[in-house]
Structure formats: structure tokens, C-alpha cells
Amino acid sequence: MNYKRYLWSFLITSTIFATAIVISNKLNEAKLGQVRAMEDKMSIDILSLETQFDLLQELSCTQISNNSILSSELSNLAHKLSYMESQRGTSDAEVIRLKRKYSLLQIKDLLLIQKISAKCGTEPTVILYFYSNAGDCKDCTKQGYVLTKLGDEHNSLRVYSFDANLDMTALNTLLKIHNIGKTYPSLVINGETYKGFKSLDEIQKLLPQLSDTDTSTSSKKVEQDR
């Protein structure tokens, strides 16, 4: 019996396994880094726009629209965060931290959009979506697909999605303002709260401007012309 062979095989196997773990971690870290960078960019964009807004009350509405965050950026970041969550699990500390930051950025962007709307007289199409992935919302997956589809097809639509279980004071306030309670999915469309699943058709009926305005190809132009 050659016990050394057993030991050597153990060492080689462990080394291969450790290498695979290191490579996987490095690549996942790079992905998280990409999400972080996107959040940072968004954070700077929002801050910059806010500062511009405060400094120059007379800033032209066209300039503001040109500098605002595109809804495609919001949805791209949401997709990536959702993917990382599916890969690393809903309880992963780094994913939770990034989701919290993302939620705050969304709230800030929402407030800014409302300010711009008041100043420039625009009527942004906004949907607030509150979901739970704690296993208590069987329709949240379906609702997510509906909103992703709408977001992909209509760039003028701004979908802000919030994980209601993140336990953040700003988010809790938003939940209270819109009287969300514990029913998920919940949507806020045109300032009105709707509890339970809403299909593609139902949302399009609530937002008729979607059907006669843009699709993804023409939407950017519409947004920039505003």
C-alpha cells in the first residue's frame, strides 16, 4: 500500500479546488465591481444634477434632460443586481449592501425627477414596484417579467423596484407614504397604489401614454427631446 499516493492526490485535488474557488471569487468580485462602478456613476450623476439644479435655477429644461439618468441605466443595473442575487443568494452581505445603495439611489432619482417635472412641466411615466423575495410572494417573479418587458420596450418609462425587506428608514418611509403594507407585489402608478399582480395589458391601460409614445428604438430620442 502506498499511502503517499493518497496524500498526494488529496493535495493536488485540494489545490485544484482552491484555485477554482480563487478564480471564481476573482471573477465574481469583478462583476460586483462592475455593479459598484455603475452605482458610483449613478450616484455622481444624481449628485451632479442636483447641484446643477440648485446652482442654476434658470437651467434650461433641455440641459437637465440631457444630463439625467436614462431609465435603461436603471434597468441594466437592476438586471445585474438581480443576477448577482440569484448567483450569490439573497442573504449575501455584499449583494444586500449593493441593493440598499441601489434603493437609495432610486429614491434620490425619483425625488429629482419629481423636482424636474415640477420645474419643466414634464410628465414622467413612473412605476414604483415593491416586491419581496422572502418566499411570501408567488406573483413577484411574474410581475418582475412584466415590468422588465415594459422597461425594455419603453425607454421613457422609469421603473423603480424596491425589495421591501431591506429594512431601511428611507424605504420604510416610502412604503408608509404609499400605504404598501405587507401585500406584494404592489405597484404605484400615477401616484395610485395597486396591490397584487398587474398584467401587461392592465398596466398599459393604466398608462395609455405608453402605447402611443415610444418603443426602445425611438424612446431615447423622445427622452432627449423633452
Residues at the contact surface with other proteins, assessed by CB under 8 A: 1, 5-6, 8-10, 12-13, 16-17, 19-21, 23-24, 27-28, 31, 34, 79-80, 83, 87, 89, 141-142, 145-146, 148-149, 152, 199-200
Q: Answer whether the bond into residue 124 is a cis peptide, omega within 30°.
A: no
Complex with other proteins: residue 2 or 169, whichever CB lies closer = 2
We find the least distance from the C-beta atom of residue 108 to other proteins, in angstroms, to be: 25
Residue 183 CA, chain-centre distance (Å), reads: 20
Judged by CB, which is closer to other proteins: 81, or 174? 81
> What is the nearest approach in angstroms of other proteins to the Cβ of residue 27?
4
Residue 149, Cβ neighbours under 10 Å: how many? 12
116 vs 140, beta carbon nearer other proteins? 140
Residue placing its CB nearer to other proteins in the complex, 21 or 134:
21
Joined together, the cell numbers standing for residue 28 give 465574481
DSSP string, 28-90: HHHHHHHHHHHHHHHHHHHHHHHHHHHH-TT--HHHHHHHSPPHHHHHHHHHHHHHHHHHH-T
- The minimum distance between CB 207 and other proteins, in angstroms, equals 16
Q: Considering all CA atoms of the chain, what is the largest pairwise distance in Å, rounded to the nearest integer? A: 87
Nearer to other proteins by Cβ, of 80 and 178: the residue is 80
Cell representation of residue 131: 416586491
CB of 71 to other proteins, least distance (A): 14
Min dist CB 119 to other proteins, Å, is 34
Q: Which three cell numbers stand for residue 159?
A: 421603473
